[in-house]
Structure 1
Amino acid sequence: MAASNPVFPHILRHHGDSQALVFDQRTWRYDELHAWAGRAAAVAWHAWGVRPGDRVAWLGGNHPAMIALLFGLARIGATLLPLNFRLAPAEWDQLLADCTPRHLVHDATWSAAAQALAGRAGIAAHGVEALDAEAPEAPDHAAEDAPVLLVYTSGTTGGPKAAVHTQANLLANMRLAAAAQQLGPADTVLTVLPVFHVGGLCIQTLPALHAGARVLLHARFTPEDTLDAIERDRPTLTLQVPATMKALVDHPRWAATGLGGLRAVWAGSSLLPAPLVEAFHARGVPVCNVYGATETGPFSIALPPERAFDHVGSCGWPVPGVEARLGDRHGDAGELLLRGPNVVDRYWPDIPARDADGWFATGDLAQQAADGSYTIVGRARDLIISGGENIHPAEIEQALASHPAVAECAAFGLADARWGEMVAAAVVLHAGAAASDEELLAHLQARLARFKLPRRWFRLESLPKTALGKLQRQALARAVGSPT
């Protein structure tokens, strides 16, 4: 079978002997990583019997072997299923039963869990060393429409679904993301977020490899190691999320750590707390928001460095090649719809992800400014309607987060006999901080309309979140005993 487009699985060979990946004090050149992918393809084809369309799962932390396996499977037309290591074993069982991978590859840290999982699923498990075995070269079955990556959504609105990314989807996303971030061979990208998800894998890591840049890959995020790398290795770009930004800003070494190598920090979140953004801006580092979903690449809407300082809170503009528009209206906002070459066509096994015209409904409510930029104001299902007024939780949360005592917060609706719904707020304070309900309410009164003010307050040790760190508002409402 001739490959219709072998570009994706072979992009690594275009960058020769320059540095590709640095991990655990070892460096792989592009030609070495390309050869490793070839060995992985050969082992999967000849030793494991993997064929086009088959799935192979991965369970482990960030590791170069997962990157090599992804490119190796792409060569033979097979698909990688990265498992979220934060899930419970029963949840892994559910995912494997859903998409039936033939093999499971793991790193040393997750060996015991992987062996147990593979035993329950009745499949073979292999350590990363298996990808270096000798085998004849595998046939090339790369094709644009071949599924290459299955990524499960976090399931905030029900059971998880696997977005089916084709080779063409991934390649398009790499091109779009590399262009938007102006990635080139002179760049060094620091990857600390989990690459089992499209954020850690597809926003910077794969685009950097497409552009010939160097990737510093950490097995996991710690603020100490991240600050060390920023100062010592001087990466030009890194991707963070609010939780890791907060850990960096709150670290005792934050003020003393040199950030001079960074030309930007990109942030993979639809909503970024302004105090965290301002902490980086005060150090002269622009925070560039990137918006997307598991189904959209995810590089879809981006705030470039030159607009980061004057568009705090905005996600920016659709990247060239991606279209955006607002669908069903909810007051001054509408559901954000996206269309582009990096948007998947389906969920596993064959459930449409887009409408007949190719639009993907994100479920997020957005506002569009006169200059065309978009700002996410919340999820459509999280909209609070009180006395006929539409209230976006994000407005309340942004205002609350600006109080110095507030570490985390969430606004949500509770059933109310008179108004339909009332606004409630859950607050997590910084360790050692104190703030009364009256003080927090006064803080909001100066910033929000009266009908948006919380009427009930809850103090919590932490907020309920999914395995990917997304707030679960409905679970929060249920936890306080008054679901909407």
Structure 2
Amino acid sequence: MLRSHLSLLESGSARFSSSPVFKVPQLDASGSIESWKSVSYTQFKSDVESYARHWTRVLRRDGIPLRSVIGIWVGGFTYVDVLHIYGISRAGYIPQLFSLRLPNPVVVYELLERADAKALIYDVTFEHVLGESPVPIHSAAVVADDTSDETLPNVPTPNKDDLAFIFHTSGSTSGRPKLVPCNYKWVETVVLKSTQISRPKDPNRQDVTVCMGSMCHIAQSFMFIGTLLYGSCVIQPTKISFSPEELIDMITRCGLNRLNQFASFLANNLRASRSNPKLLYLLSGLDDIVYSGLPLAREEEDWAYKNGMKLRNLFGSTECGGMLLSIGAAGRNPGLLQSLDGFTYRFIPTDSATPESGPQSTARLLELIIPAESPDCPDVSLRHADGDFHTGDLFQEASPGLYISRGRDDDWIKSETSLRCDTKAIEENALAMCGNLIAECIVVGSGRPSPVMFVEPAVDTDHAKLKKEIIRKTRHFHARRYLHERITSVDMVVIVPRQTLPRTATKGNIRRKAVEESFKTQLDQIFERVH
């Protein structure tokens, strides 16, 4: 029988009834954390069913049949957000999840239409921008405890091909993200993967971890299934880039023993531990530190291993979830990645050498391919013409079955929160709209909150005026994109003299990674000033 997020909630509420599943911060008047409120498995199940009854009544009144797709456009960071998502699912509908990082309702409406969605539940902060919606809309407000006799459907025994969720790629292609339909066969693979990623080190103690990000994105939805599987508890921090002080508080007051973070945010805490002995001691005592999204800088990784931190790198994607896991501190080379047990992937040679190597290098790059027969191969709409899913992620094989990540084979970068950004599309739009002003441009920002465009001008003009003109001419293009992909401020445009940007020796192409490295100090200063 296939397991699902709903069946795990049912079994978890019976097995772990009084144990906390969430710890939610309670803030005082100044915004500081006063205490942490525990929500038990029993309470969570009851709240989900209360929200499910509410939405059953509302959507039935709209004449919307069961198993319809319902859009949910919320932040995904709060307990109430989780209740809306799981409540819609428990009511017998299919959640299509949008986060607040996609702030343009026109793009949301287009994606709702593509998924044949029948309604939209939206965060109240968007009420003023909704305009003419093609489907009925309802506010994602707090629902009073619904004790009505509204009948809920039984928790389904799903067929493997039944849709469970619709997510979206984190980067925009042709001006909008792609749909990522996830069926119950895919959800079962998440459960299987969680037995390796989320299994408690001590079965006699409840694990306590922390949210990686929004439940509208795959990373935290994936990890939360592991939480339910093992009766663990997840802390909802005040923000995903929580401070070292908040991390200390979560460890000492909430009992956090397993830290899950995107690499950009973990690096901040690792750097802080160099001058904070208490934080260093607490990090070294955690049962597990899992990071994802981007590689950690070698210096940070070495610091963690040197100080006894139990560090693991989980490599994954929106389409497939987690795929590769580093071998951890027990291995001679702890950062090397290997496929999760029970999943067989292909690593197909490309024609390129490693990005770091010179032109004489014979080191092979391998693209990660998810074969059609793999149970976690994504929906057919996302696959290549050969029937397999081509991730575009490149690796080098360090020894048989062990790999080092070497970035991507395309023009995408990953932001600070590991969301993807199509740099090539931004560059092409800038050149199309400002071709008489721009000789060359390159977009960078790997691991940063937003992209930055470096421009070599085509004309001799005032740099401040040139920046403003570029922003004006590209404004419409960026209005349709995720927040983490947008360049809408002159602060994010850097003008440099002609032939300043580093280029390849053979073709003269501007080297994106070399620009990142050469202008690192300037990029640091930009984000210190802006953020």
Quick check: TM above 0.5?
yes
Q: What SS does structure 2 have at the residue aligned with 1:140?
A: coil
2:326 maps to 303
Specify which of 247, 268, 277 is matched with residue 247 of structure 1: 268
Q: What SS does structure 2 have at the residue aligned with 1:344?
A: coil
CA distances 1:299-324 after superposition (whole Å, capped 9, x unpaired): 11111434467233x3x211122211
1:256 maps to 278
Cα RMSD for the two superposed structures: 3.4
Query: Cα distance 1:464–1:208, how it changes in 2: closer, same or farther (>3 A)?
Result: farther
Aligned equivalents of 2:95, 2:348: Cα separation in 1: 33
1:14 maps to 11
1:319 maps to 340
Query: Cα distance 1:128–1:23, how it changes in 2: closer, same or farther (>3 A)?
Result: farther
CA distances 1:331-366 after superposition (whole Å, capped 9, x unpaired): 4012111243233224xxxx2436665x32101111
Q: What SS does structure 2 have at the residue aligned with 1:330?
A: coil
Aligned equivalents of 1:43, 1:293: Cα separation in 2: 33
Query: Cα distance 1:462–1:80, how it changes in 2: closer, same or farther (>3 A)?
Result: farther
2:143 maps to 130
1:426 maps to 515
Specify which of 71, 74, 78 is matched with residue 63 of structure 1: 78
Q: Is the 8 A contact 2:198 2:226 kept in 1?
A: no
Displacement of 1:248: 1.6
Equivalent residue letter for 2:24: F
Q: Is the 8 A contact 1:150 1:165 kept in 2?
A: yes
Tell me how many residue pairs correspond in the alignment. Answer: 396
Aligned equivalents of 2:220, 2:377: Cα separation in 1: 17
Aligned-pair identity in percent equals 16
Aligned equivalents of 1:138, 1:362: Cα separation in 2: 39
CA distances 1:152-182 after superposition (whole Å, capped 9, x unpaired): 1122654410211123312321231233342
Structure 1 segments unaligned to the other structure (5+ residues): 384-396, 399-412, 429-436, 438-456, 466-484
Q: What SS does structure 2 have at the residue aligned with 1:426?
A: helix
Equivalent residue letter for 1:209: L
1:341 maps to 375
Aligned equivalents of 2:526, 2:186: Cα separation in 1: 32
CA distances 1:64-115 after superposition (whole Å, capped 9, x unpaired): 2333333333334422223222233355455445435444445xxx522256
Query: Cα distance 1:240–1:186, how it changes in 2: closer, same or farther (>3 A)?
Result: same
Aligned equivalents of 2:40, 2:521: Cα separation in 1: 51
1:33 maps to 44
1:170 maps to 187
Aligned equivalents of 1:149, 1:300: Cα separation in 2: 19
Query: Cα distance 1:342–1:287, how it changes in 2: closer, same or farther (>3 A)?
Result: same
Query: Cα distance 1:216–1:321, how it changes in 2: closer, same or farther (>3 A)?
Result: same
2:401 maps to 372
Equivalent residue letter for 2:45: H
Q: Report whether the alignment pairs 1:112 with 2:125.
A: yes
CA distances 1:172-207 after superposition (whole Å, capped 9, x unpaired): 2123123334235621112242322111221x2221
Q: Is the 8 A contact 1:209 1:215 kept in 2?
A: no
1:330 maps to 351
Query: Cα distance 1:88–1:371, how it changes in 2: closer, same or farther (>3 A)?
Result: same
Displacement of 1:58: 3.3
Within 5 Å, which residues of 2 pair with 1:84-483?
84-90=99-105, 91-99=107-115, 101-105=117-121, 110-114=123-127, 116-117=129-130, 120=133, 122-130=135-143, 132-135=145-148, 136-140=150-154, 142=156, 143-144=158-159, 145-155=161-171, 158=174, 159-183=176-200, 186-202=206-222, 204-221=223-240, 222-223=242-243, 224-251=245-272, 254-257=276-279, 258-259=282-283, 261-296=285-320, 298-307=321-330, 310-312=333-335, 314=336, 316-331=337-352, 332-339=364-371, 340-346=374-380, 351-353=381-383, 359-382=388-411, 418-421=506-509, 423=511, 425-427=514-516, 460-461=522-523
Q: What SS does structure 1 have at the residue aligned with 2:52?
A: helix
Aligned equivalents of 2:370, 2:87: Cα separation in 1: 30
Structure 2 segments unaligned to the other structure (5+ residues): 26-35, 353-363, 413-445, 448-500
Query: Cα distance 1:26–1:117, how it changes in 2: closer, same or farther (>3 A)?
Result: farther
Query: Cα distance 1:32–1:234, how it changes in 2: closer, same or farther (>3 A)?
Result: closer
Aligned equivalents of 1:36, 1:354: Cα separation in 2: 41
Q: What SS does structure 1 have at the residue aligned with 2:57?
A: helix
Displacement of 1:119: 5.8
Q: Is the 8 A contact 1:19 1:28 kept in 2?
A: yes
Displacement of 1:52: 0.5
Q: Is the 8 A contact 1:9 1:72 kept in 2?
A: no
Query: Cα distance 1:420–1:341, how it changes in 2: closer, same or farther (>3 A)?
Result: same
Query: Cα distance 1:177–1:123, how it changes in 2: closer, same or farther (>3 A)?
Result: same
Aligned equivalents of 2:504, 2:283: Cα separation in 1: 49
Q: Is the 8 A contact 1:74 1:167 kept in 2?
A: no
CA distances 1:2-55 after superposition (whole Å, capped 9, x unpaired): xx8575412122233122222233222222222222223222223222520322
Aligned equivalents of 1:342, 1:77: Cα separation in 2: 24
Query: Cα distance 1:245–1:8, how it changes in 2: closer, same or farther (>3 A)?
Result: closer
